[in-house]
């Protein structure tokens, strides 16, 4: 499942975050690449342990915790500390798949990457190119979102960032280990949870049918959950 999550950050929050990270010392993006990805990756990255990356990452984690759509869709168990990259002057990241296991530079966080996330931090009109292209069984999806919006997709997907030919593309990227390892099961739970929320608004939380449906949701979560 791919999901567009709008307004994870407000425009004011994006502006504040950009002021913080733009002042950092950016380095070659291959500091976090595996051997295969390094062949395709041409961008810059804010060092993982830098004060700017830590402060900006904490702000994003706080915003995610307040976002009900993200929580419903990802059912997050662990969110990897957000990283930051930028592309300009023809830089690109060719077709690749994310590593199945990610470990932070300090070794404190180690996760199974079930989901990948890109949080856009530059407005789409400020740069040309830089589309995130994600391949799945339904074909190729091209994503270029307003600053503050995020795309969530299975980390097992082949994906790439097309060359940026004008301006600078800035984004945060990170991975999520979900309580539900299987994407199909996670998608079903997401659809059920959305239906429960919609029905609650129509029939009220005490309706017997809604109580039964909510029970089925939690029993599936109990059956499939990997805690």
Regarding whether 169 and 191 lie in a shared domain, the answer is no
Which residues span the domain enclosing 157?
A: 3-178
Regarding whether 189 and 174 lie in a shared domain, the answer is no
Regarding whether 208 and 145 lie in a shared domain, the answer is no
Q: Bridge partners of 153?
A: 116
d(CA 165, CA 146): 18
Regarding whether 187 and 174 lie in a shared domain, the answer is no
For 190, the token pair is 């997401």
Regarding whether 213 and 190 lie in a shared domain, the answer is yes
Mean pLDDT within 161-173? 98
pLDDT digits (tens, 9 = 90+) for 125-135: 999 999 999 99
Regarding whether 194 and 120 lie in a shared domain, the answer is no
Q: Domain tally for the chain?
A: 2
pLDDT digits (tens, 9 = 90+) for 174-201: 999 999 999 999 999 999 999 999 999 9
Q: How many CB atoms lie within 10 A of CB 215?
A: 10
d(CA 74, CA 225): 12
Regarding whether 88 and 160 lie in a shared domain, the answer is yes
**C-alpha 100, offset from chain centre:** 15
Regarding whether 215 and 110 lie in a shared domain, the answer is no
Regarding whether 192 and 87 lie in a shared domain, the answer is no
What is the radius of gyration, based on Cα positions, of the chain? 18
What CATH number is attached to the domain comprising 141?
2.60.120.620
Let me know: does 198 contact 222? Beta carbons within 8 Å.
Answer: no
Which band of pLDDT confidence, cut at 50, 70 and 90, is reported for residue 37? low
Regarding whether 189 and 166 lie in a shared domain, the answer is no
Regarding whether 80 and 169 lie in a shared domain, the answer is yes
What per-residue confidence (pLDDT) applies to 204? 84
What CATH number is attached to the domain comprising 198?
4.10.860
């Amino acid at each position: 499942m791919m999901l567009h999550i709008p307004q994870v950050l407000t425009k004011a929050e994006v502006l504040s975050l950009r002021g913080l990270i733009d002042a950092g010392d950016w380095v070659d993006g291959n500091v976090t690449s595996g051997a295969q990805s390094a062949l395709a990756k041409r961008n810059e990255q804010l060092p993982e342990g830098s004060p700017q990356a830590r402060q900006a990452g904490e702000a994003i984690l706080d915003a995610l915790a307040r976002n009900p759509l993200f929580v419903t869709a990802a059912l997050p168990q662990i969110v990897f500390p957000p990283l930051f990259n930028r592309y300009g002057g023809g830089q690109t990241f060719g077709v690749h798949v994310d590593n199945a296991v990610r470990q932070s530079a300090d070794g404190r966080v180690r996760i199974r990457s079930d989901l990948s996330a890109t949080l856009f931090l530059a407005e789409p009109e400020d740069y040309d190119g830089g589309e995130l292209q994600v391949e799945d069984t339904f074909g190729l999806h091209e994503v270029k979102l307003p600053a503050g919006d995020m795309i969530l997709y299975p980390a097992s997907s082949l994906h790439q960032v097309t060359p940026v030919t004008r301006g600078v593309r800035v984004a945060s990227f990170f991975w999520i280990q979900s309580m539900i390892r299987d994407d199909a099961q996670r998608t079903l739970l997401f659809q059920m949870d959305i239906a429960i929320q919609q029905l609650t608004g129509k029939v009220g939380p005490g309706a017997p049918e809604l109580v039964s449906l909510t029970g089925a949701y939690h029993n599936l979560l109990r059956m499939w959950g990997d805690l």
